Amino acid sequence: MWKIFLILFGLLFSIFIPKSIYENYTDTNREDSTYEEDSYADSEDSVNEDYDPTKTDWENYGDTGSIMEIADTDWALENAPVFHVETKEQLAGVVYYVNAVKGYNDSVELYLEADIDLDGLEWVPMGGWYRPDRYLEHTTFVGLIDGQNHIIKNMHIDTKYGGHCGFVGYSYSLQMKNITFEKAYVSGGTYVGIAGGEIYGSEDWINVNVSGMVGTPGPETGSIVGREAGINFRDCDATVVYKKENGRFGSIRYFSHRYQLIAETPVVEAFTLTYENGVITRDEVEGYDNLGWHIERDGSLLLDRAAEGELQLPAEYTYPDTSIWLEAYINGTYIRVSNIIEVP
C-alpha cells in the first residue's frame, strides 16, 4: 500500500513542482561537459543572430578589422599555400586564408617581395582566433615567414578578445627570418608581442627586428614574442616601449616573457659536471624538477635530453664543439643549474 502511495505522490509532485526550482537546479548544477554541449548545439543562434551562411566562421564571429575591406581573397586562394606578397591587399588575403580557410595542421609559406605600409588599417593576427563557443579550436599559422629583408610598416593591432596579439597570433611550429616591423603598435590581454603572440615548436628566429609600442603590458608580454617555449633569437633586435600610468614611457627589455624569466632568475650551479673520455658525469643533488641535459652549438640548440636518474651523458651525445649543461624547471622556465662543459 505504501508503495502505491509513494508513486502517486511522485506523480503529483512532478506535475505541480514550480518550474523555477527545476530551472535553478539545472542551471547551477550542470557539469562543464553539459554546458559545452549546449553551447555547441545552439552556437550559431546564441553567438551571432546575424549569422550569414555565405561567409566563413571567422567573418561571422571574428574581429576582422580592415582585412575584409581590402583582402585579395581570389589571389590568396589561387596561390595558397605558398605566398609571394607584394601588396597590402595580398597580405590581407593571407590573413584571410589563415584565419578562415586553411586546416589546423596545414602549413603556409609567406615571402615578402616588397616593403608594405599598413598605415590607417586595423590589422588582426594570423592564427589565434577561435569561435566564442569553441575556445579550444584555435586557428594556427604553421610554417615559414621570410621577409627577405623587407619591412612591414605601421602595423596596428588591438585584439578585442583578450590575447594572442602579434603579426602571428598563435603557432605550434613557425620559423621567422629576415623581416623588420617598423612603427608597430600591438595591444591585447595575454601573450602579446609585435611579431608573435603565442609560439611553440620553434627554434631559431633569425634577423627579426621590431620597433614600436605595446599597449599596457599584461601577463606574458615581450618585444618580439609574448609566450614562447624555446625560440633562439639570432641576430635579432628590438626597440619597443609602453606607456606608463604617469604618461611616461617604459621599455620592453626582453625579446619574450621566457627571456625575462631567465634573466630575472639567478643561476645556481648546484650540480658539478666533469668531462673525461667523451663522457660527462654529474653528481646527485635533490630538489630540482624536470632535470635535463642541454646541448647547443654556436648558440643554437642541438638537443634537450632528460637527465632524471641519468648520472652520465653517454659519449654519443657529447658532440664536438658543443656547450653542455644541466637545466631544471624554476620560476616558470628552464634555468641552468650546473657549470658548462665545452666539448672540444
pLDDT digits (tens, 9 = 90+) for 72-116: 999 999 999 999 999 999 999 999 999 999 988 999 999 999 999
User: What single letter denotes the amino acid at residue 182?
Assistant: E
Distance separating alpha carbons of residues 120 and 93, to the nearest angstrom: 17
CA atoms 294, 145, 135, 189: torsion sign: positive
Whether 338 shows a pLDDT value over 50: the answer reads yes
Distance separating alpha carbons of residues 107 and 114, to the nearest angstrom: 22
Q: What pLDDT sits at residue 300?
A: 84
Q: What pLDDT sits at residue 31?
A: 31
Joined together, the cell numbers standing for residue 261 give 624569466
Q: Which of 18-27, 36-45, 246-255 has the lowest mean pLDDT?
A: 18-27
Q: What pLDDT sits at residue 280?
A: 97
User: What single letter denotes the amino acid at residue 277?
Assistant: N
3-state secondary structure 2-48: HHHHHHHHHHHHHHHCCHHHHHHHHHHHCCHHHHHHHHHHCHHHHHC
Q: What pLDDT sits at residue 260?
A: 93
Distance separating alpha carbons of residues 123 and 288, to the nearest angstrom: 44
User: What single letter denotes the amino acid at residue 177?
Assistant: K
291 contact partners, CB below 8 Å, separation of at least 6: 306, 307, 308, 326, 327, 328, 337
Write the CA distances from 257 to 155, 208, 296, 320, integer angstroms: 21, 17, 21, 32
Distance separating alpha carbons of residues 97 and 132, to the nearest angstrom: 20
Q: What pLDDT sits at residue 114?
A: 98
Cβ neighbour number for residue 18 with a 10 Å cutoff: 8
CA dihedral 338, 258, 208, 238 (to 10 degrees): -110
Distance separating alpha carbons of residues 266 and 12, to the nearest angstrom: 71
- pLDDT of 147-163, one tens digit each? 999 999 999 999 865 67
Q: What pLDDT sits at residue 77?
A: 97
Joined together, the cell numbers standing for residue 135 give 575556445
Q: What pLDDT sits at residue 19?
A: 34
**What is the chain's alpha carbon radius of gyration, rounded to the nearest angstrom?**
26
Helix (H, G, I), strand (E, B) or coil at 121: coil
Q: What pLDDT sits at residue 85?
A: 98
Q: What pLDDT sits at residue 38?
A: 30
Whether 171 shows a pLDDT value over 50: the answer reads yes
Average pLDDT over residues 197-208: 91
Given pLDDT bands bounded at 50, 70 and 90, which one contains residue 128?
confident
- pLDDT of 45-56, one tens digit each? 445 567 888 899
Q: What pLDDT sits at residue 11?
A: 40
Cβ neighbour number for residue 279 with a 10 Å cutoff: 14
296 contact partners, CB below 8 Å, separation of at least 6: 302, 322, 323
Higher-confidence residue of 62 and 163: namely 62
Higher-confidence residue of 137 and 301: namely 301
Whether 20 shows a pLDDT value over 70: the answer reads no
Average pLDDT over residues 171-185: 97
Inter-residue contact 141 to 80 (CB < 8 Å): no
- pLDDT of 253-311, one tens digit each? 999 999 999 999 999 999 999 999 999 999 999 999 899 999 999 888 889 999 998 99
By CB neighbour count within 10 A (0-12 exposed, 13-18 middle, 19+ buried), where does 220 fall? Answer: buried
Whether 135 shows a pLDDT value over 50: the answer reads yes
Higher-confidence residue of 213 and 23: namely 213
Max mean pLDDT range (130-134, 185-189, 206-210, 243-247): 206-210
Angle at Cα 95 formed by Cα 168 and Cα 56, nearest 5°? 125
Q: What pLDDT sits at residue 321?
A: 96
User: What single letter denotes the amino acid at residue 210?
Assistant: V
By CB neighbour count within 10 A (0-12 exposed, 13-18 middle, 19+ buried), where does 153 fall? Answer: middle
